Amino acid sequence: TRFSLPYDGTTKKHILGLPVDAHVIGIIARLDPIKNHAMLLRAFTQVLQQMPNTYLLIVGPDGPEKANIEHLIESLGISKKTRLLGARSDIADLLHVFDVFALSSFSEGTSVTLLEAMAAGLPIVATNVGGNPEVIEDQVTGYLVPSDDDGVMADRLCQLLRDKNTRKRIGEMGQKRAHAMFSLDRMVKIYTDLYLTVRRN
């Protein structure tokens, strides 16, 4: 898939104003309360205490939580380390800028962004809710953390950011799992089921 094609993220880092040697955590999710960006922001604040050369990229269309997220970023004092990028057409490229993909949702179906991140070879830290355990094999293709537990999420993020070999190993396992379990045929079925569910509702 286009998400697993080799890509050098250095140029994209320059465009985004990120140091080349910085660690990058990324989330791709609409700015909606169900995605619980607040938990990730609290976790990121803890990550910065241990690993100050880290940035958080928040990607996704604006939603009802945008003002609250902006306010929390300011009140936590992390505005210089956080980028709200909005909806983007260069998701495949951005995934190759991330070192770790995070998903902090209160609830989740079969997350297409998780599949894309895995296909790009990224290690995942996600909440153990909804369809996430079906996508992620805990401690093999990523880490599952309790819902709304920013302390555990921060620990897992730091663990991955500190250890490049672990990031690479988990990312490669995730990539294999994404290709094996979530082929084009499977993705078509997911989208079809989703469409039918929406129509019924």
13 contacts 19 by C-beta, under 8 angstroms: yes
So what's the pLDDT on residue 139? 95
Report the chain's mean pLDDT, rounded to a whole number. Answer: 90
Confidence check: pLDDT of 5 > 70: no
Q: What is the DSSP string of 60-117?
A: S---TTHHHHHHHHHHHT-GGGEEEEES-S-HHHHHTT-SEEEE--SS-SS-HHHHHH
Give the whole-angstrom CA distance, residue 47 versus residue 199. Answer: 42
Span 42-47, average pLDDT: 98
Give the whole-angstrom CA distance, residue 125 versus residue 98. Answer: 12
Span 153-172, average pLDDT: 97
Query: Judging by beta carbons within 10 Å of its beta carbon (0-12, 13-18, 19+), is residue 63 exposed, middle or buried?
Result: middle
pLDDT above 90 coverage of the chain, percent: 75
> Is residue 178 helix, strand or coil?
helix
Confidence check: pLDDT of 109 > 80: yes
pLDDT above 70 coverage of the chain, percent: 91
Better-predicted residue by pLDDT, 40 or 189: 40
Better-predicted residue by pLDDT, 70 or 3: 70
Q: What is the pLDDT of residues 58-97, one digit of tens each?
A: 999 999 999 999 999 999 999 999 999 999 999 988 999 9
Distances in whole angstroms, Cα of residue 9 to Cα of each of 24, 96, 159: 11, 6, 22
